[in-house]
Amino acid sequence: MITIDPLAVPHELAARFAELSSVLAVVLSGSTSNRVDDGKSDFDIYVYTTEEIPVAWRTEVARRHGTHLAIDNRYWELGDDWIDTRIHRMVDVIYRWPDWIEEQIDRLLLRCEASTGYSTCFWHNVLHSETLFDRDGWYGRLQERARQPYPDELRRAIVAKNHPILRRTLSSYMQQLELAIERADHQSVNHRVGALLAGYFDILFALNRQPHPGEKRLVAYAETLCPLRPPALAQQVEAVIAAVAPAGQAALLAHANALLDSLDEILLAEGLIDA
């Protein structure tokens, strides 16, 4: 039984972290702040701190209302996870350094540097986070820096970095996928399809001058945010994913090529690739 308003949980945690002088800001991000929460979503809470917060202090905060604690995770970013027993939902607290996130924004918006997949996710994260605590307005200033038009140089850089490795180079995802199918290497097939789709969506969001929203609900986001998109986007992506299973792999290359062909038509029309 839920005993409190779920949205009270992140505000309660922000108040606790605000007690520490090293904490500059606490923000809510992910599905909840983007208003696509389906009732099963985690609470993604980002704590921006100038020094690492002691594990014992963090554990005490988690234990107050938490169970199934996973403290001091260092697999990706530093974080703590637990299930809040009052709302029966996972709380995911991620700790970040202020100068690190500032560098991520500068890398994208000043230097226009692309990645292989997910190029602009940190930009999207900053833009669409809800501020819960902001000690001296630092996070507000960071968001203001992030609120600028999508640089055309960045758009072109993302296409230039991701498009050739879809299928134009000898080491492309499609080339690796074809070899994996011939070898019946099903794990590699799955891995290469994931990489191909990551590059595909990185290009698609850049094409539409939209910061990348992350790894979840990408088709839904694309259909909402991307007017420049293949008309059969959802069906083509689903056909590729359905063909990953060994029984469907005979058709996988054809489905993947169809997916990329429809994207290339738009990129050619926009002058972002050569025929």
How far apart, in whole angstroms, are the C-alpha atoms of residue 34 and residue 24? 22
How far apart, in whole angstroms, are the C-alpha atoms of residue 42 and residue 99? 26
3-state helix, strand, coil in the chain (%, to 5): 50, 15, 35
Mean per-residue pLDDT of the chain: 94
Q: How confident is the model at residue 77 (pLDDT cuts 50, 70, 90)?
A: very high
In the chain, domain spans: 8-146, 152-269
User: Is the Cα torsion angle 58, 59, 61, 65 positive or negative in sign?
Assistant: positive
How far apart, in whole angstroms, are the C-alpha atoms of residue 202 and residue 148? 19
pLDDT score recorded for residue 2: 63
Q: Look at domain 8-146 and name its CATH class.
A: alpha beta
Q: What does the pLDDT look like over 187-231, one tens digit per residue? A: 999 999 999 999 999 999 999 999 999 999 999 999 999 999 999
pTM: 0.91
- pLDDT over 70, % of the chain: 96
pLDDT score recorded for residue 173: 97
Residue 127's closest CA among 162, 165, 101? 101
Q: What does the pLDDT look like over 229-270, one tens digit per residue? A: 999 999 999 999 999 999 889 999 999 999 999 999 999 999
Q: What does the pLDDT look like over 18-62, one tens digit per residue? A: 999 999 999 999 765 445 555 667 899 999 999 999 999 999 999
